[in-house]
Amino acid sequence: MTTDGRLLKGRQTRNDILCRAADIASAEGLEGVSIGRLATELRISKSGVFTHFGSKEELQLATVAKAVKLFREHVVKPALAAPEGLARVRALLDAWQRYQREPVFPGGCFFHSTMAEFDARPGRVRDAIAVSQRDWSTFLERCLTEARDRAELDASTDVPQLAFELDALCRTGAAQALLYDDPSYHERATRAMDARLAAVGAGRA
């Protein structure tokens, strides 16, 4: 095998490991992810998994990074295709709910699971999860600010507060839909978000 072939195979193996690790973490948390388990499930050697990451913490950090990449592909990227302003806000919320409904991960939202697992556990993994959520909040706030600047939201709108409320509504709807195996909670979240946007002058036509 050529050097390029080995590199390509190594990248594919690493991607396979991280995809499976993210799936497991979404349902069981990052502590459910281990080098031994991944080696067994993917039918590769423990040393093969260890070569890519070196430690469980590095594996967990790489898994968080993979989940961030998938979130951007499924939620952020589709929203960026919409025009700036309210259209982008709605595209973003729609893509986020679609990400939760399908779902991308078998255990629902990867970050809903791992935030609860690591929120009181200081360290590099918690920091990585926190950064991912700050980045998400910043992007949501930016989209809302664009809508306000285009006069599609009331000029007095408290953007950080509105972003917090929309985030909370969407997360709660998804969590309860998963817990009760009842997709109607996604619809409840949609209605609640529509009502909140309408209250700041952005009612759906």
Number of Cβ within a 10 Å radius of residue 180: 10
Each residue's pLDDT, cut to its tens digit, for the chain (205 residues) gives 566 677 778 789 999 999 999 999 999 999 999 999 999 999 998 988 888 998 999 999 999 999 999 999 999 999 999 999 999 999 999 999 999 998 899 988 899 999 999 999 999 999 999 999 999 999 999 999 999 999 999 999 999 999 999 999 999 999 999 999 999 999 999 999 999 999 998 544 3
**What is the C-alpha to C-alpha distance for residues 124 and 160, in angstroms, rounded to an integer?**
26
What long-range pairs does 164-173 form, CB within 8 A, spacing at least 24?
A: 164/137, 165/196, 166/93, 166/140, 166/193, 166/196, 166/197, 167/136, 167/137, 167/140, 169/193, 169/196, 170/93, 170/96, 170/97, 170/100, 171/109, 171/112, 173/97, 173/100
CATH of 60-199, one of 3.40.50.9100, 3.40.50.2000, 3.40.50.300, 1.10.357.10: 1.10.357.10
- How many residues are listed for the chain in this entry? 205
